[in-house]
Structure formats: C-alpha cells, structure tokens
Amino acid sequence: MDRSVPQHAAPAEPGAGRGPAAPAPPSVVIERRVEWSDTDAAGHYHFSSALRWAEAAEAVLLRGLGLEELFGSIPRVHFEADYLARLWFGDLVRIELRVHKVGAASLHYAFEVRGPNGPAATGRMSVVHSAATATGSVPWPEETRRKLTESGPQRPESYAG
C-alpha cells in the first residue's frame, strides 16, 4: 500500500493560498482483503462486513488521535449503508472513515468502501459519549472535542499484504 495520505485528504500547507488552512476534521484510510469469513453463501461480501470494516477504521482513527479511552464509552446509536457493488473473497478493499459532525455528546462518521472497480459501499455511523454504567450521554471533554474536530488526516494502515 502506498502509505501516503490520499491526495484529496492531504492537509493544506500552512500559508498556501489565501492564508492559514482551517483545521480539518480527522479521517483515516485502511486497507484490508475480503476474507473468507466476510463472504456469504452467494460468494460475495456479507452486508455486515461493511460495519466491521468501518469499526476497524474507527479503531485506527481513535488510536491515531490518542483517544483509546473512548473504547467502551461510545456505543453505536445509528448505522446505515448503501451497497453499490459486490466484493469477492481476496479482493483488496480500501476503507476511508471521516468525522462528519461532532455534537455535544455525539459523533457522526461517514465512510466509503472501495474495491477493485470503485465504490462498493458508502454509509454513516453515529456514536454517543456515555460511560458503560451511565444512563445517558455525557458531553465531550474540550480536549477530546478539539481532537475530534481539528486533527486532520491520520496515518493510513494496511493489513492487505
């Protein structure tokens, strides 16, 4: 895998254009292969694979941001996906996950799964900040909010070998 950040997601050079670049929301790109366990009886990827790949990208993103403490305190409250093309066992997939919006206690991601022939799935996933024993959501700490809104593209990861 080319370990550089995709050109469309590259941070702007400070001072380029008309002034300093505005902080960019975080994003990450990961690569995987469609594993046998990702496929269904028809031989192509099972619909649930898109969720697992989006969650794998989320884990890479949060680790890259130094926000490991969020694991276990950000339950999913929404997931949706549009399936655009089939992926088959062994296909290389590239998953891009972007922070779309940060609410008072919510976090909304957008993702795209690309296969050998282009986009295969797109979707959104939402989580809320809530301790495991809490009965409701908790606002983001200011430093966490800053990281979730201003950190820009993170280092890509590949297990596609």
| Cβ contacts of 27 within 8 Å, gap of 6 or more | 9, 61, 96, 97, 98, 99, 152, 153, 154
Q: Residue 5: which pLDDT band, with cuts at 50, 70 and 90?
A: very low
How much is the pLDDT for 132?
75
For residues 32 and 18, the model is more confident at 32
How much is the pLDDT for 148?
96
Is residue 14 within 8 Å of 158, Cβ to Cβ?
A: no
The residue count of the chain comes to 161
For residues 19 and 68, the model is more confident at 68
- pLDDT tens digits for range 111-146: 999 999 999 999 999 999 997 777 889 999 999 999
- pLDDT tens digits for range 27-85: 999 999 999 999 998 889 999 999 999 999 999 999 999 999 999 999 999 999 999 99
Is residue 43 within 8 Å of 88, Cβ to Cβ?
A: yes
How much is the pLDDT for 134?
78
Closest to 156 measured CA to CA, from 94, 103, 87: 94
For residues 8 and 38, the model is more confident at 38
| Cβ contacts of 50 within 8 Å, gap of 6 or more | 81, 83, 111, 113, 121, 123
Antiparallel, parallel or unpaired: β 118-128 and 76-83? antiparallel
Is residue 62 within 8 Å of 70, Cβ to Cβ?
A: yes
Mean pLDDT of 91-108: 97
Mean pLDDT of 13-24: 61
